[in-house]
């Protein structure tokens, strides 16, 4: 139901047995969620150097750990290892990070002589141990040992995008990023030890130069291997190469990518000749990597084509648009259903049906990715599945495909909505109603899908899934044994139907029902980022954001929970951020907003004593947010130290700003981000608030440059909307999208006229009144658009306009029951969230911005026509 760490599920996912050994006398021990660290207390390690990684399959893991423990303890060498089998499996799973996957153990030699000796001796001791290749490292021979140069101590610096990242020191003593990519690439100033040179030569000797295929581009990467578009140089045919790495890319039952690729080849041979299945061309190995060659289908995925055609994400939709899309969608769904039927006739269950695994070639639907396909006669459940289409444990064999087909009938009209179903299966009834209200879909077509997803009536006797069937997230055998009770959804107060106070109180019930004051790491469940240091406290994902949203919307104060937050904020764990949305400055702001100014000022004073000058520029975690917070408290108190700190930050952000051309034309990925929270709009807002405080017009010039930097990364869609260009998509949202930029443009235009900015604001406006958003949340969903409209993103759309009322009503797409109240899902819809940035508290804030009788705003964003300033009304005035 909620994101959690394995630390809180040790009974279900225990550590390796060796973790129970007593810590050696004179040694230090430290545990994290992922690693167990050990080292002699009297031995100081260098801050960086060559480290040794050991890779191992799960079958060899305990033997490997026994050998390493005895070796390292006996020679007083520091080391760490993964806590348990579950962590090890996750680290080697299909979508684990390619740069760090495969590591079971890390060993820290004190120098190069120690490095050479440890490698020589452990290479003998670990003979016969097998494991995945660690892509970031250099492999020693054919065994499980790998080496990489990197940091031993945890140090940080800013990278080229001004993000705070792990660092190492260059020869001039400057901290630079410690790069950890999916290839061996030591820092340019580091000389490879001579004894490693033969291993580098052996690595470089393995190439694809002699093969009859020329790789043209990368289609996809996973931890299991790549998928490449290539040309057969013998025939000129365009083909697809699928790569599989041994012992990597594990699925739910531990099968690696090679086992699945071999299986896929068997399935393609069995299905040869079907028009809906790519033809297999070849199968070969290079080194220990396996490659499957298949027909290239020149077409988008069904997901991509659906998004391209979808009328709900256009600036306007007519009944004719809805009818045209419906006709196309029904035609494509018919093609997919016929394709699945043809597989079943050949005795094959597809097992991983979702719109990303269907290619559209005209009106032809082609199924791709048969690595988890199975035989009908085996009557099993898939070992990998997309969460929005993953059948519950009682759907086996062909029934699993039928379940996924039913989900596709809904998801093609409401993108990603079926991801909500594992959280509360009766939600499907509500989703079906919303789809029928929006599109002219035949009722019987949708009703049949609903019946398939709900399943037939069952007794209370729990179903017994196949032994090999993994549980779907959020489900167990007992939760799917009975037909879901739809009463909770029917009785749920929904936005657009229930009153503001009913909605707010229902959300408060859900939030309070989720509270866990007995835990140290979090009070309210939220986004997975809350498990980073300080993430359970902050505004975005932690307790501060929830308590802030409840207080400013009139939902009340909760002294017990305020005490929980205060206790941890004044004794934060190592690594807790200072930033506004991700750290202690945001906690201070929340304390002030709920009526605890003394605590707020004490926390601000604590933050001012920290080293904040090395932080990035952003509003979310960097100097822009801290500067705005200091301006807020400085204007409220007149404190000279706070105001001086704000001034120093404004100067530093201005010095780092650069020119309009200092940023590329794409946001995110390897490039600096655009947008309010992480881009140049945050610094622009800082300059505008500093101008309000000082009257210095040079600050308006800086704000103009910053805003032009973000607009440089925006593009017009076909219907005229101006959104942030991210390369793989355009982004309209509050966080990194154009809506957040638009709010700062509005603030700028209240202070200085600019024709370019006026036009840009006009073109951004429609992004906030689209009919469908994949998510409901504040940062990246509909709640953020509602808040943006309340804050004046569109001058022609006020708080009480029909457009705002429509957006409020459409929050019902994501409404979920929890704890006798109203809750909303977090990022990617995979779990419920109560936090401000991704979950229920953010929706409450958005609803309050348009429905509450007292002002409810985003921090530092004023409604149109309000006097310049950032002060939050006292708590007593918001009751």
In the structure, what pLDDT confidence band is assigned to residue 495 with cuts at 50, 70 and 90? very high
Q: How many helices (H) and strands (E) does the chain have?
A: 26, 25
Confidence of residue 148 (pLDDT cuts 50, 70, 90): very high
Q: Which helix (H) or strand (E) holds 843?
A: helix 840-851
Q: Considering all CA atoms of the chain, what is the largest pairwise distance in Å, rounded to the nearest integer?
A: 79
Q: Give kind and range of the element (H or E) at residue 293.
A: strand 289-295
Which residues, other chains included, contact 201 with Cβ-Cβ below 8 Å and sequence gap of 6+? none
Q: Report pLDDT for 484.
A: 73
Question: What is the mean pLDDT of the segment spanning 420-426?
Answer: 94
pLDDT beyond 70 at 198: yes
**384 vs 623, more confident:** 623
Phi, psi (degrees; rounded to nearest 5) at 86: -65, -45
Which candidate, 306, 304, 297, 339, places its Cα nearest to that of 325?
Answer: 306
Split at pLDDT 50, 70, 90, the class of 464 is very low
- State the span(s) of the chain assigned CATH 1.10.510: 306-490
pLDDT above 60: residue 471: no
Tell me the HSE value of 520 on the side-chain side, using a 13 A CA sphere.
Answer: 6
Close Cβ partners of 279 (under 8 Å, ≥ 6 residues apart):
268, 272, 294, 295
Tell me which of 3-7, 118-122, 390-394 is least confident: 3-7
Q: Which of 653, 655, 661, 604 is nearest to 632 (CA)?
A: 604
Least confident range of 419-433, 462-476, 548-562, 676-690: 462-476
Please spell the DSSP secondary structure of 49-86, one letter per residue.
EEEEEEE--HHHHHHHHHHHHHHHHHHT-EEEEESSHH
**CA 832 vs CA 421, 816, 827, 877: distances in Å:** 12, 8, 9, 32
Residue 214 backbone class (left: φ over 0; alpha: ψ -120 to 50; beta: rest): beta
Query: Is the pLDDT confidence value at 369 over 60?
Result: yes
Taking the domain 6-205, which CATH number applies? 3.30.2430
What average pLDDT does range 568-582 have in this prediction? Answer: 96
Q: What is the mean pLDDT of residues 597-601?
A: 98
Q: Is pLDDT above 70 for 450?
A: yes
Q: Cα separations (Å) of 563 from 36, 120, 517, 596? A: 31, 55, 10, 11
Residue 59 backbone phi and psi in degrees, to 5: -65, -30
pLDDT the model gives residue 803: 96
Rounded distance, CA 321 to CA 807, Å? Answer: 20
466 pLDDT band, cuts 50/70/90, is very low
Helix (H) or strand (E) holding 626: helix 623-637
Contact in structure between 467 and 380 (CB atoms under 8 Å): no
Q: What is the chain's mean pLDDT, rounded?
A: 93
Q: DSSP state, 108?
A: E
Catalytic amino acids? 352
pLDDT of residue 482: 62
The mean pLDDT of 685-712, rounded to a whole number, is 98
Cα-based distances in Å from 791 to 23, 126, 798, 871: 57, 63, 9, 16
424 — phi, psi (to 5°)?
-160, 100
pLDDT of res. 385 = 85
Two tokens, residue 421 = 């179903």
Distances (CA, A) of 572 to 192, 566, 592, 598: 40, 10, 19, 18
Rounded average pLDDT over 251-272: 95
CB 483 within 8 A of CB 459: no
Looking at 171-180, 449-458, 728-737, which range is the least confident one? 449-458
pLDDT-derived band at 749, boundaries 50, 70, 90: very high
Nearest C-alpha neighbor of 44 from the set 10, 73, 78: 78
Listed residue (569, 486, 545) closest to 840, CA to CA: 545
Q: Reduced to 3 states, what is the DSSP secondary structure of residue 822?
A: strand
* 819: confidence class by pLDDT, cuts 50, 70, 90: very high
Domain with CATH 3.30.2430 in the chain: 6-205
**CA separation for the pair 851, 132 (Å, rounded):** 55
Residue carrying structure tokens 């930033």: 579
How does pLDDT run across 842-877, given as a tens digit for each residue? 999 999 999 999 989 999 999 887 765 433 344 444
Look at residue 879 and tell me whether its pLDDT is greater than 50: no
Task: Name the band, by pLDDT with cuts 50, 70 and 90, for residue 7.
Answer: confident
Length of the chain: 879
701's CB contacts (< 8 A; 6+ apart) are none
Name 583's bridge partners. Answer: 577
Q: Which residue has the tokens 């509450």?
A: 852
- Rounded to 10 degrees, the C-alpha dihedral 265/269/273/277 comes to -20
Torsion 120-126-130-136 (CA) sign:
negative
CB atoms within 10 A of CB 575: 11
The band of 474, judged by pLDDT with boundaries at 50, 70 and 90, is: very low
3-class SS at 94?
coil
8 Å CB contact between 450 and 417: no
Question: Is 460 a residue whose pLDDT tops 90?
Answer: no
CA 458/CA 452 separation, integer angstroms: 13
Residues forming beta bridges with residue 175, ordered by sequence position: 169
65-103 burial code (b ≥16 CB/10 A, e <16) = bebbbebbbeeebbbbbbbbbbbbbbbbbbebebebbbb
Q: Is the pLDDT of residue 31 over 80?
A: yes
Least confident range from 166-170, 622-626, 795-799, 871-875: namely 871-875
**What residues have CB less than 8 Å from 872, skipping those under 6 apart?**
552, 589, 592, 593, 632, 859
DSSP H or E stretch at residue 566: helix 559-569
Cα-to-chain-centroid distance, residue 522? 19
CATH 3.40.30.10 fits 213-295, yes or no: no
Give the least confident one: 7-21, 179-193, 539-553.
7-21
CATH number for region 306-490: 1.10.510
Q: Are strands 78-82 and 103-108 parallel, antiparallel or unpaired?
A: antiparallel
Task: For residue 93, give the DSSP letter.
Answer: B
Per-residue pLDDT at 805 exceeds 80 = yes
Pinpoint the residues of the chain covered by CATH 3.30.200.20: 213-295
Q: Is 514 helix (H, G, I), strand (E, B) or coil?
A: helix
Mean pLDDT on 318-339: 97
Query: Once rounded to an integer, what is the mean pLDDT over residues 820-832?
Result: 97
Q: Given this model, what pLDDT does residue 867 score?
A: 61
Q: Are 233 and 242 within 8 A, CB to CB?
A: no
Does the structure show a pLDDT above 70 at 113?
yes
Strand partners, 176: 168
Segment 509-514 mean pLDDT = 98
Q: What is the mean pLDDT of residues 248-276?
A: 95
State how far the Cα of 671 lies from the Cα of 686, in Å rounded to an integer.
Answer: 22
Q: How many CA atoms lie within 13 A of 642 on its CB side?
A: 22
| Burial grade of 499 (CB within 10 A; 0-12, 13-18, 19 or more) | exposed
Whole-angstrom distance, CA of residue 727 vs CA of residue 666: 6
pLDDT above 70: percentage of residues in the chain = 95
> What mean pLDDT is predicted for residues 250-277?
96
> What pLDDT does residue 363 have?
83
- pLDDT above 50 for 254: yes
Evaluated on CA atoms 74, 75, 76, 77, the torsion sign reads negative
Q: What is the pLDDT of residue 468?
A: 33
Q: Average the pLDDT over 589-605 and give the result.
A: 98
Residue found by looking up tokens 């044994």 in the block: 481
């Amino acid at each position: 139901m909620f994101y959690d760490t394995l630390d809180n599920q040790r009974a279900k996912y225990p550590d390796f047995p060796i973790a129970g050994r007593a810590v050696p006398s004179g040694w230090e021990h430290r545990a994290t969620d992922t690693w167990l660290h050990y080292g002699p207390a009297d031995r100081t390690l260098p801050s960086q150097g060559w480290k040794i990684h050991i890779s191992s399959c799960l079958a060899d893991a305990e033997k490997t750990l026994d050998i390493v423990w005895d070796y390292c303890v006996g020679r007083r060498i520091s080391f760490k290892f993964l806590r348990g089998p579950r962590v090890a499996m996750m680290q080697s799973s299909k979508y684990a990070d390619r740069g760090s996957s495969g590591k079971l153990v890390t060993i820290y030699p004190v120098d190069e002589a120690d490095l050479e000796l440890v490698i020589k001796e452990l290479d003998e001791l670990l003979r016969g141990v097998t494991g995945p290749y660690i892509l970031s490292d250099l492999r020693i021979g054919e065994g499980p040992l790998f080496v990489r140069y990197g940091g031993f101590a945890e140090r940080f610096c800013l990278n080229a995008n001004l993000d705070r990242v792990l660092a190492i020191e260059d020869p001039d003593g400057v901290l630079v990023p410690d790069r950890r990519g999916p290839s061996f690439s030591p820092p340019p100033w580091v000389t490879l030890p001579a004894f490693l040179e033969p291993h580098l030569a052996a690595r470089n000797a393995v190439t694809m130069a002699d093969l009859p295929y020329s790789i043209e581009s990368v289609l996809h990467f996973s931890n299991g291997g790549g998928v490449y578009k290539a040309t057969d140089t013998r025939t000129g045919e365009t083909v697809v190469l699928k790569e599989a790495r041994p012992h990597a890319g594990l699925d739910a039952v531990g099968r690696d990518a090679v086992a699945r690729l071999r299986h896929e080849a068997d399935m393609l041979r069995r299905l040869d000749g079907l028009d809906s299945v790519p033809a297999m061309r070849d199968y070969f190995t290079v080194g220990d990597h396996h490659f499957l060659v298949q027909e290239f289908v020149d077409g988008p995925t069904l997901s991509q084509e659906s998004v391209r055609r979808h009328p709900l994400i256009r600036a306007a939709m007519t009944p004719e648009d809805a009818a045209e899309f419906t006709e196309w969608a029904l035609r494509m769904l018919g093609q997919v259903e016929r394709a699945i039927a043809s597989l079943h006739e050949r005795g094959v269950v597809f097992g991983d049906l979702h719109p990303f695994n269907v290619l559209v070639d005209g009106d032809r639907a082609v199924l791709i990715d048969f690595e988890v396909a199975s035989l009908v006669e085996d009557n099993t459940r898939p070992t990998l599945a997309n969460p929005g289409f993953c059948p519950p444990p009682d759907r086996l064999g062909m029934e699993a495909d039928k379940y996924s087909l039913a989900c596709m009938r809904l998801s093609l009209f409401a993108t990603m909505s079926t991801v909500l179903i594992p959280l509360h299966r009766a939600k499907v009834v509500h989703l079906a109603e919303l789809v029928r209200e929006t599109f002219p879909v035949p009722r019987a077509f949708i009703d049949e899908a609903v019946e398939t997803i709900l399943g037939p009536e069952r007794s209370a006797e729990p179903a017994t899934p196949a032994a090999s069937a993994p549980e779907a997230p959020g489900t167990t055998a007992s939760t799917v044994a009975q037909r879901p009770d739809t009463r909770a959804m029917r009785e749920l107060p929904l936005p657009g139907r229930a009153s503001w106070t009913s909605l707010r109180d229902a959300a408060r019930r859900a939030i309070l029902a989720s509270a866990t004051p007995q835990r140290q790491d979090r009070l309210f469940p939220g986004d997975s980022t809350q498990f980073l240091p300080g993430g359970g406290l902050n505004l975005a994902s932690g307790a501060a954001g929830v308590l802030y949203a409840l207080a400013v919307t009139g939902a009340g104060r909760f002294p017990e929970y305020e005490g929980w937050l205060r206790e941890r904020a004044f004794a934060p764990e190592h690594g807790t951020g200072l930033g506004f949305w991700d750290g202690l400055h945001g906690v201070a702001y929340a304390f002030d907003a709920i009526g605890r100014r003394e605590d707020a000022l004490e926390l601000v004073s604590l933050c001012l004593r920290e080293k904040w000058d090395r932080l990035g520029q952003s509003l979310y975690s960097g100097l822009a947010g801290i500067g705005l917070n200091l301006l807020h408290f400085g204007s409220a108190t007149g404190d000279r130290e706070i105001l001086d700190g704000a001034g120093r930050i404004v100067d530093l952000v201005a010095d780092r700003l650069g020119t309009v051309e200092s940023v590329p034309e794409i946001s995110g990925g390897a490039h600096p981000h655009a947008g309010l929270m992480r881009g140049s709009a945050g610094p622009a807002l800082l300059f505008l608030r500093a101008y309000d405080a000082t009257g210095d017009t040079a600050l308006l010039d800086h704000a103009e440059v910053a805003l032009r930097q973000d607009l440089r990364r925006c593009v017009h869609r076909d219907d005229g909307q101006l959104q942030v260009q991210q390369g793989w998509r355009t982004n309209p949202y509050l966080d990194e999208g154009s809506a957040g930029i638009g709010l700062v443009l509005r603030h700028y235009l209240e202070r200085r006229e600019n024709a370019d900015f006026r036009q840009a604001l006009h073109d951004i406006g429609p992004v906030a009144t689209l009919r469908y958003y994949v998510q409901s949340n504040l940062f990246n969903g509909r709640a953020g658009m509602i808040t943006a409209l309340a804050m004046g993103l569109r001058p022609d759309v006020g708080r009480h306009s029909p457009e705002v009322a429509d957006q409020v009503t459409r929050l019902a797409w994501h409404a979920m029951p929890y704890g006798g109240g109203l809750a909303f899902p977090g990022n990617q819809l995979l779990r419920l969230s109560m936090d401000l940035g991704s979950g229920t508290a953010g929706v409450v804030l958005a609803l309050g911005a348009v429905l509450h009788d007292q002002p409810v705003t985003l921090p530092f964003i004023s409604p149109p026509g309000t006097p310049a300033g950032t002060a939050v009304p006292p708590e007593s005035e918001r009751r």
